[in-house]
Chains A and B, each alone.
Chain A
C-alpha cells in the first residue's frame, strides 16, 4: 500500500518536473510553440533562426540553472535542518550567502571606491562569480575550522549566524560609502537572477552542483543517524568530525555555487524540505533526499515561469517570487500540521 503510494508520487513529481521544464522554455516575452521547442531540443535545428538564439542563448541555460539551483538549495537546506535538528535552518545558516555577498560587495563597491575604476562593465560576470565563491569559501573555511574544535553543534549554528551578521555589517559599511550606480549593481545582485548564467558558465555550475549532490547522496546513512542527535549517532559508530566536514563541505559547494552564479536565492532551502516531508510522510533520507531535490526543481522552475510574467517584456526578481510562492505553501503546511517544531 505504502510502497504503491510512493511510486505514484514519484511518477507525478517527475511528470510535473518535465512539464514545468518544457513550459519554462516555451513561455516568456516571446511565446515559442511546443513543436518548435521540441524540435530544437532534439535536433538542434529550426526553421526560425531567432528561436534557436532565444532557446540556446537564453531559455535553455535559464531553465537548466533553475533546475540545478532548485536541486542544490533544497538539498543543502535539508542537510542543515537535519544536522542542526532545527526546522528553520536553511542553506545559508552557516553564513555562506553572507560571505558571498561580502565578496561581491567588495568587488562591486570596494573597487569602485578605492580605485579609479568606476565602470560596472569592467567588473565582468565571471569576476562576480569568483568574488562570491571566494567569499563563501572563506566562510566555509572558518566554519570547518570551528567545527573541528567545537563539540556542541548548536554552538556552530550560533557562530554561523554571528559570522553572517558580521559580514552583513561590513557589507552595510561598503554600501554606505559607495556611489549610486555601484549600489544598484549590488542590490540587483542580491535580488537573485537565474538568467545571467551563460552556457559556458553552466559547464562550471553543473559539475559543481553534481559533485555536491553526489556527496550528499553518499551521506544518506550519516544524515539518518544525525536525525537522532550527535550523541546517538556517535554511539552507533559515526565519526562526527568527518561527517560534519563532509556535510558542511557539500552544503557550501551546493549553496555557494548557486549563490555565486545566481545571487542569494532565499526561501527555497527552508521551505522545500518541509514540503517533501509532508508529501513522502517520512524522515528517512533515502526517500527524503531525492524527493526534496525533485520538489526543489519543481518549485524553482515554477517560480521562474511566474517571474518572467509570460507575455510581458519585464521579469521580476526571482528572490521575490520564491518568497511569494513559498510562503503560502509553508503557511498552509504549518496550519495543516501544526507540528513544525519537530519537523526535522
Chain B
C-alpha cells in the first residue's frame, strides 16, 4: 500500500471571478479540502454553486482570488507549466469533435508535456498511448476518427488522453453529463478502478449522487456556504446529504441511499405482504400520497397474496373486497376512489 500522503491540499481557498468594483463575484470562501493517492473523489453540489470554478482553480485554468492549493505539499506556483502538466490532467465539459482526428492522435496529444518541441512521439510515447487506450478498453478504436464514435466511447478516449499524460492527479468536469445510465456507471466505475490500480487521485464533479455514493472513496459536498468532505457513508450517517436540498422538496433516504420527494401523506393505508412485492406496492402507494402502515387491519388495507400462481392485490375497505392483478389497476382504482 502506498503512503497516504496528502497529494492535494486546499487551504482557505476563495474562488470566483475577480472584479475591481465589488466583492460580490466571489462564489465561495474558506474552502478546505484534501485528496489522497488512490482515491476517487466526487465533487457534488447544486448547479451554479461553483463546482466548475473550483475544478478550474485546481487545474490552474483560473486564478484563485485568495488562499492556497498545495500539490505534494508545495504551492501550485512553484511548479513550472510543464511540471504542472505532468502532475495534473483535465477533462472539461467541452465535447471534442474534430473531423479527421484519429482516436490515437487525440490520446497521444496527452504526451504533450513529455515530448520535445516538435512533439515527436518516441516508442515510449507510443507504448504509453496504446496502453492508455487499453486501460479504458478502447484499443480497437485507435484508427477511428473521434467524430465517428459514441459519446460514451469519446469520454473513455478523453480519459485515455489523461492516462497518456501520465499524471498523478486527474480532474474531470462532469464526465457523466452526456451519457446514458449504463455508460454513466461504467465510466465512473472505470475511474474508480483506475484510481486503485494506478494509485492515482481522481477528482470528478457530478450530479449523479447515486453513482458517487456507490463508487467514490470521498465526497466533496458543496453546500450553500460550506464544503463538507467525507466518505459517502459518513455523510449518509450524519445526515449531511439532507442539507443539499433543504429548501427543495427532496429528502435523502438514509436506508436506501437515495433521494426521494418529500410527500405530504394525506390518508393512511394498511399493507400486508412480503418481499419485493411488498416493497414496490409500498412505493406505488406512497406515490399516490398514502401513508403506508405495515399490517394495520383497522383501516382500509391491501393484502398482496398469491392465487393460482398469480399475485393478486386485495383492497379491503369497510368490509368490501376488490381484487386487482396489477399495481397499475390497483392505482387506477385508488385514484378514482380518492377523487
Residues of A in contact with B (beta carbons under 8 Å apart): 2, 218, 220-221, 224-225, 227-229, 231-232, 234-239, 277, 281-284, 286, 339, 342-344
Contacts and interface: CB of A to CB of B under 8 A. Distances in A.
When A and B form their complex, which 9 residue pairs have the shortest distance between CB atoms, in order from nearest? A237-B85, A221-B119, A235-B90, A283-B101, A236-B112, A237-B113, A283-B100, A342-B99, A237-B82
17 contacts: A221-B112, A224-B119, A228-B106, A232-B92, A234-B61, A235-B59, A235-B61, A235-B85, A236-B85, A236-B113, A237-B84, A238-B81, A282-B101, A284-B101, A284-B102, A342-B98, A342-B147
B165 interface: yes
B125 to A, nearest CB: 12
B261 interface: no
Contact of A218 (B60, B97, B117, B165): B117
A225 B109 contact: yes
B96 A232 contact: yes
Interface string B22-61: 0000000000000000000000000000000000000111
Contact of A221 (B59, B102, B117, B147): B117
Given A236-B112, A237-B84, A237-B112, A231 B92 contact: yes
B54 to A, nearest CB: 15
B118 interface: yes
A40 B110 CA distance: 52
Contacts of A225: 109, 112
B105 interface: yes
Nearest to B59: A235
Contacts of B59: 235
Contacts of A218: 117-118
A27 B85 CA distance: 55
Contacts of A237: 81-82, 84-86, 112-113
Contacts of B143: 2
Nearest to A222: B119
Contact of B109 (A220, A234, A236): A236
B155 interface: no
Nearest to B92: A231
B118 A221 contact: yes
Interface size class of B (residues with CB under 8 A): 20 to 34
B115 to A, nearest CB: 7
B160 to A, nearest CB: 13
Contact of A236 (B94, B102, B147, B165): B165
Nearest to A276: B100
Contacts of B84: 237
A271 B337 CA distance: 71
A232 B90 contact: yes
Nearest to B56: A231
A238 B112 contact: yes
B109 A228 contact: yes
Nearest to A280: B100
A303 B207 CA distance: 57
A28 B47 CA distance: 68
Contacts of B98: 227-228, 283, 342, 344
A220 B119 contact: yes
A227 B101 CA distance: 9
Contacts of A282: 100-102, 105
B111 to A, nearest CB: 9
Given A221-B115, A231-B92, A235-B89, A277 B106 contact: no
Given A283-B101, A284-B101, A228 B112 contact: no
Given A225-B109, A343-B99, 5 more contacts: A229-B96, A232-B90, A235-B59, A237-B113, A344-B98
A147 B96 CA distance: 24
A231 B90 CA distance: 9
A83 to B, nearest CB: 14
Nearest to B85: A237
A247 B31 CA distance: 39
Contacts of B88: 235
B94 A229 contact: yes
Contact of B105 (A236, A284, A342, A344): A284
Contacts of A227: 98, 101, 109
Nearest to B143: A2
Interface string B93-136: 01011111110011001101101011100000000000000000
Contacts of B90: 231-232, 235
B90 to A, nearest CB: 4
Contacts of A238: 81, 112
Contact of B96 (A2, A228, A339): A228
B48 to A, nearest CB: 19
Nearest to A342: B99
Nearest to B90: A235
Contacts of B109: 224-225, 227-228, 232, 236
B56 to A, nearest CB: 9
A2 B104 CA distance: 14
A277 B100 contact: yes
A111 to B, nearest CB: 46
B101 A231 contact: no
A284 B98 CA distance: 11
A283 B99 contact: yes
